[in-house]
Structure 1
Amino acid sequence: MQIIFPKEPPEYCGPELTLAFAAMVDGERLECVITAEALEDHFGAESTRAEDMLGAFDAHRERIEAATRRLLSETRGRCAVLRSGYVRFYEANVRPS
């Protein structure tokens, strides 16, 4: 499975307190989502305000994409919602390269 993340800015969704970002999975565009809770718990977002969430995403994009890549691989490209619990599990079990 080939997973590529276009270098596009994520999109804030206030009512759902998420950021949406794109992935290309085997050539098909897929919308991925990370929750505000995950950004606050693991990536330093100070609040659910757009600027705080976007700043945390930008500062930790590589880690967020790595966790999302693993989630997409595990679900064969079907689940693209990165929640705090998954990030905690992923980071506790990630193997250094």
Structure 2
Amino acid sequence: MPVGGVTMHISFPSCMPEYCARDLVLAFPALVDDRPVQCAITAEALEDHFGARSLREDDLLQAFLAHRSQIEQAARRLLDEIGARPVLLHSGFFRFCA
């Protein structure tokens, strides 16, 4: 159910995700009612649920791109629940939403 009963328009630009080695995440943007909101997925989630072969940037990117629609759908689900705030998708989220 959308936050406060208000339907938000959520979309994802088709740009490449950005690797953040310090946090071991891939960051990707969402647009919520045309406002940018940062989303990210952990390397652990990409390994555990999307077949990334290692923590190397190339392997993480390959897994993200192969499963982009599923990852964006998960981010959309969280954005619907919490509103236009940054989202971090952890491995545990995918364990419970499958």
Q: Structure 1 length normalisation: TM-score?
A: 0.90
Kindly indicate whether the alpha-carbon contact (under 8 Å) linking 1:71 and 1:79 is maintained by their aligned counterparts in 2. Answer: no
Match of 2:52 in 1: 45
Among the aligned pairs, what percent are the same residue?
A: 56
Relative contact order (alpha carbons < 8 A, sep ≥ 6): 1 or 2 greater?
2
For residues 7-86 of structure 1, the aligned pairs below 5 Å read 7-86=14-93
Which aligned runs of 4 or more in structure 1 are off by greater than 4 angstroms? none
Match of 1:95 in 2: none
Match of 1:87 among 67, 84, 94: 94
Structure 1 residues 44-77: Cα deviation after superposition (integer angstroms, max 9, x where no partner): 0011100000000000001000111001111112
1:63 maps to amino acid = Q
Aligned residues: CA RMSD: 0.8
Q: Distance in 1 between matches of 2:96 and 2:32?
A: 23
Aligned length: 91
Q: Structure 2 length normalisation: TM-score?
A: 0.89
Match of 1:94 in 2: none
1:9 maps to amino acid = M
Q: Distance in 1 between matches of 2:23 and 2:41?
A: 10
2:91 maps to amino acid = S
Q: Distance in 1 between matches of 2:36 and 2:43?
A: 23
